[in-house]
Amino acid sequence: MSDRRYPDAVDVAIVGSGPTGAAYARILSEEAPGLTIAMFEVGPTVSEPAGSHVKNIVDPDARAAAQRRSEGPGAGEATLNSPRAVAEGARRARPGTFLLPDGDFATSGDGLPLAAMSSNVGGMGAHWTAACPRPGASERIGFLDDTGELDRLLDEGERLLGVTTHAFDTAPFGDLLRERLAAAVDEGRTPAARVQRMPLAVHRRDDGALVWSGSDVVLGDVTRANPHFELLDETLVTRVVQDSEGHRVSGVEVRDLRTGDTHLVRARFVVVAADAMRTPQLLWASGIRPDALGRYLNDQSQVVFAARITGIEDSVDGTAAAAGGALSESSGVSWVPFTDELPFHGQVMQLDASPIPLADDDPVIPGSIVGLGLFCAKEIRRDDRLEFADDALDAYGLPAIRVHYALTERDRAVIDRARREIVRLGEAVGAPLDDHPFQLPLGASLHYQGTTRMGETDDGTSVCGPESEVWGVEGLFVAGNNVIPTSTACNPTLTSVALAVKGARAIATRAVSAH
């Protein structure tokens, strides 16, 4: 039995503890420190400090246990950590995540067979690859870009996430790898769109080890030290509560998963940051149903390939340092940015480089094995959507989610083009290790977007305005990748955190002026 107490009332209730929910808590703690904030997370605390990346856990058994505790209703089911196994058709989640139930993932079209989520403090920020590229060209949000505001918000996002391009400066062959990729793709590109180091949310601990950033980094010491901030895990938010006229939020209804008890927590502002599947689900369950809710669903089709850097045999002395459970110094991540002419985003990873032989007589040179991935931009369609059942409930007792999603002819042409391009990049790197590129099943990107998309005006094609406040419901904000309105190919977390900064500042300004 739990003896914890839920607050009767707070200024701000945040649903979800991933990077965007954490960004709201951080900005509010910095800019309006007198506000009371309660953050509710359906999953347990699985790492220390709360919200930290589970791959920073050195002990492999403890790391696996943290991942299992993050898998919600999927805990105990078999998982796969190999892109190759996923590409070959195994319908299993990656460690730390769980899939939509079989039968619900595709009710029309191609569906999203690998649509997955996490339930834990830190959300997917406890499991992600920490890539934080800036959007480019048509990925950018025009009505925020015209005044330069988008880049200022992205600067803040990088600050909160602890983004650097220097995490792997010592990785062997990184410069050579980028030189070869650049020779293949840089001609005619602007400087920002040329091959470069991938911006990563990675930092170095006091003991010198490289570790991934998670929501713990976004929250920061200022939030943890804020006496007006409280994080309540294993708490399901079942409903966003509105006033009698339905024009303003008045709080949230929550269920303590440890006891089953329900509570009403009054709030002046509510931020729903529960991921691209569960944020629109909660709004639907609350009777908040803008016309665009759940629509314009955007996944990123992913093509992968592998190659070995050649011509380096005489330049090697010694082997790589062990990764020690965190990140190998011989890892490295390079970036081939999105362009409108080549509408995919390239993530090129030098795999953790302990010298594991490919064959008995073929030792791997640390840093020489390269995994290439191209994420493809999707044609945005209103009919790509989530449907919320009125006659079925999910494992949490909320309306079951069904996916309607289909690739267009244009999407398939982009994927075919990405297949050809990734082979060309592999050959530029050195010797391809695959006979052909693999397309991962839809949903494998975990980069779902658009289901509560932002718009400049309330014209029926968006759920929220430029400050992420839901149209027609004062005080209700949404956060996450689901807010991004454009067709993107790049990893979306930096953009969604940047948009959360804008929303949090709007709450801070309004709340302080009201006092």
User: Quick one: average pLDDT of 297-301?
Assistant: 97
User: Quick one: average pLDDT of 262-287?
Assistant: 98
> In this predicted structure, what is the pLDDT of residue 244?
86
> In this predicted structure, what is the pLDDT of residue 22?
98
3 state SS of 190: coil
> In this predicted structure, what is the pLDDT of residue 124?
97
Contact 271, 24 (CB under 8 A): yes
Given a cut of 80, whether residue 512 has pLDDT beyond it is: no
Peptide bond into 357 cis (omega under 30): no
> In this predicted structure, what is the pLDDT of residue 352?
54
Q: 291 is written with which tokens?
A: 């016309």
Mean pLDDT of all residues belonging to the chain: 91
Q: 223 is written with which tokens?
A: 């939030």
Given a cut of 90, whether residue 360 has pLDDT beyond it is: no
Given a cut of 50, whether residue 1 has pLDDT beyond it is: no
Non-local (6+) Cβ contacts of 9 within 8 A are 36, 251, 265, 266, 267
User: Quick one: average pLDDT of 394-409?
Assistant: 96
> In this predicted structure, what is the pLDDT of residue 414?
98
Given a cut of 50, whether residue 356 has pLDDT beyond it is: no
pLDDT-based confidence at residue 16 (cuts at 50, 70, 90): very high
Given a cut of 50, whether residue 338 has pLDDT beyond it is: yes
Non-local (6+) Cβ contacts of 184 within 8 A are 424, 425, 428
Number of other CB atoms surrounding residue 253 within 10 Å? 15
Query: Where is 279: in which H helix or E strand?
Result: helix 278-285
d(CA 335, CA 39): 34
Given a cut of 60, whether residue 324 has pLDDT beyond it is: no
Q: In 146-228, where does DSSP find H-type helix?
A: 149-161, 174-185, 215-224
Contact 153, 135 (CB under 8 A): no
Which residue, among 233, 216, 214, 234, has the nearest Cα to 224 in the 3D structure?
A: 216
Given a cut of 90, whether residue 76 has pLDDT beyond it is: no
Which residue, among 513, 164, 119, has the nearest Cα to 333 in the 3D structure?
A: 164
- Give pTM, 2 decimals: 0.95
Given a cut of 70, whether residue 5 has pLDDT beyond it is: yes
Given a cut of 60, whether residue 316 has pLDDT beyond it is: no
> In this predicted structure, what is the pLDDT of residue 358?
45
Given a cut of 80, whether residue 329 has pLDDT beyond it is: no
Given a cut of 70, whether residue 252 has pLDDT beyond it is: yes
Contact 21, 37 (CB under 8 A): no
Sign of the alpha-carbon dihedral angle for 453, 456, 461, 463 = positive
Catalytic one of 127, 228, 447, 515: 447
Q: Is there a catalytic annotation at residue 345? A: no
d(CA 513, CA 291): 32
E strand map for 208-331: 210-212, 229-232, 235-242, 249-256, 262-272, 301-309
User: Quick one: average pLDDT of 451-455?
Assistant: 98
Given a cut of 90, whether residue 323 has pLDDT beyond it is: no
Q: 85 is written with which tokens?
A: 């196994």
> In this predicted structure, what is the pLDDT of residue 513?
76
- Where b means 16+ CB within 10 Å and e means fewer, 442-464 reads bbbbbbbbbbbbbbeebeebbbb
Which residue, among 488, 294, 495, 496, has the nearest Cα to 378 in the 3D structure?
A: 488
Given a cut of 60, whether residue 302 has pLDDT beyond it is: yes
Q: 47 is written with which tokens?
A: 């790492």
Quick one: DSSP state of residue 265? E
Q: In 370-492, where does DSSP find H-type helix?
A: 409-429
Exposed, middle or buried: residue 356 (CB in 10 Å: 0-12, 13-18, 19+)?
exposed
402-412 residue pLDDT tens: 999 999 999 99
Given a cut of 80, whether residue 325 has pLDDT beyond it is: no
Q: Which residue has the higher pLDDT, 323 or 399?
A: 399
User: Quick one: average pLDDT of 68-97?
Assistant: 81
Q: Distances from the Cα of 424 to the Cαs of 289, 290, 336, 385, 419, in angstroms? A: 46, 44, 13, 34, 9
362-392 residue pLDDT tens: 567 778 889 999 999 999 999 999 999 988 9
User: Quick one: average pLDDT of 237-256?
Assistant: 95
- With a pLDDT cut of 70, the percent of the chain lying above it is 91
Angle at 161 between CA 100 and CA 234, to 5 degrees: 45
User: Quick one: average pLDDT of 491-508?
Assistant: 98
User: Quick one: average pLDDT of 157-177?
Assistant: 93
d(CA 216, CA 224): 9
